[in-house]
Structure 1
Amino acid sequence: MDHPRPPVRDSWWAPISVDLLLKVLNVTILHPFVAWIIPLCFRAEHQAWNTNPMVVSITWAIFVTLLWMGNVISHKIAYGMHREVDLSEEVIVITGGASGLGLLIAEVYGMRGATVAVLDIAELESTEARGITYYKCDVRDKAQIARVATEIERDLGTPTVLINNAAEVVGKKLLDMDLEEIEKSLTTNLLSHFYTIKTFLPGMIRSETGGTIVTLSSVIGHLGAARLTDYAAAKAGVTALHKSLAAELQEYPEIKTILVTPGQLSTPLFHGVKTPNAFIAPVVEPIEVAKEIIKAIDLGLSDHIGMPLYARWVDWYNVLPVGLQKIARKFSGVDSGMETFIGRRGTQQSEKNGNLI
């Protein structure tokens, strides 16, 4: 399935980014297995235990192993044990699943034998998607959600996984937006999460196998950005909602929560937005985010998924002195990225006119 994509640099080094370098390091010298291979190789060459190469390589291997163990222990302390996941028994509900990231996750699970319900006001793009049942539903409408929930329960069974993926981007300055556009954006991006969780969470709690709630937020919810006042406010609220809900669900350890805070995705939702620095803030491919979400769901884990690298460290931005924050915003270009915004409506209009973007 081909979607119009944001413009990218044509140079050969365009794919190179901090995230790519870190990915290479994580499967080489930062991986415990590889780190221990090095002193073993030295030992195979009959190096004495007290030689510099042996001492340095063993010290490095111990350091990397301790970091890996610390990360595992930290995750267990934060999120507890996993829940058992049997895809043949899972009923997965995905809002905004008719296109983009939502459809990608739906297709993967459909092909793997899970039961998938896609809720969207737009028609399903792929009519041949296997294992997917489409329900036309405007997630801003509580009555429609209640009706569709009854139909899903009747047709597919009790939902065990809820992926709140529906999103709306207006892309205008606050003073240029109508009140109706603001209300639509906030309802789609924030209030719909309350509606769906209130609807589907009770069934997960009653289920013997528990369930998983996936919240699609955004790094913009931490930073804010010009021309994204509505979207940023909603995503900040979604992040706060997720964290508060996770705290409330501690008495239900079989319910897992996954928070996803990606940077710019190469989907039609943000078509036309140019990343200011492809090395530090690369555009994220939906398949990469989908892989991490699917991995966490399959393992029955709670998690916080941030992509690319800066999305996992963005909280430190607020620790900086306000002067440095101003400089960082100017340097990053976060407030100018939306100047070339086209969005989903623009791509749809171009397709109607027979134009390629």
Structure 2
Amino acid sequence: MSTKKLHGKIAVPTDNIIGASGLGHELSSILSQLGVIVIIIDVPFVTITNAILLYGTPTILINSVAILDAEPIETMSFEKFRRVIDVNFISHFNMVKIIITFIYWTAYCASKAALVSFHESLKYELFYSNFNIQTTLVVPGQLNTPLFQDVETPSRLLAPILDPIYVSEKIIKAIINNLSTEIYTPLYCSVLPVLRCMPIKFQKIFRHLSGIDKASRKYVLIKEIDYFDYEYILSLTILFIYILRNKNIFR
């Protein structure tokens, strides 16, 4: 691997504070040997802002800062929970925001992804505890509400706009039956978890062909991609085979 392209680049590892010994510290040592200017940050916002003025915009950002505070949810204080979220997630957004001047749907999507992960962790923690508590994750598509008034559905057949009453009835049914379940509606929402497991190139072509990134023209820049690639065809074939063999995932 040629390292000449790295010489003179500017890198910011977020956990490389004084005295650190984590992944960011090790990466910093290697990058420095390759001729990369590594910025040691102490107070993130102030230091990185000053560094941009002094050295220019960093070309390498390594969001590696993290803390671990493992504690059962019933005893964990809100302050501890908030600190973990602030360091492990919010700080990553802050660093990206400083360097990238535009982020469209990233905050919204990241918050929803965090909820999905939170539900998954909570579900299994409750399962192995003495609490008789059921959880239901609801992943709806576009709703006919003011929140989505600027969003145009790419296809009313494949991605219909949902009536909030329809979704509410599904949730009420889960509550009445005391179910611990996940509600994906409409049909395409059931495919999304599978899509996340596919190669990134396939995800790009799926987004392109489905028109999902054109749904909100006001916020998203559309970039044309070459989808006549064997990896796309292979990935598409694998997805179709998975769907055919697991038809019950849509029921």
TM-score by length of 1: 0.32
Structure of greater relative contact order (alpha carbons < 8 Å, 6+ residues apart)? 1
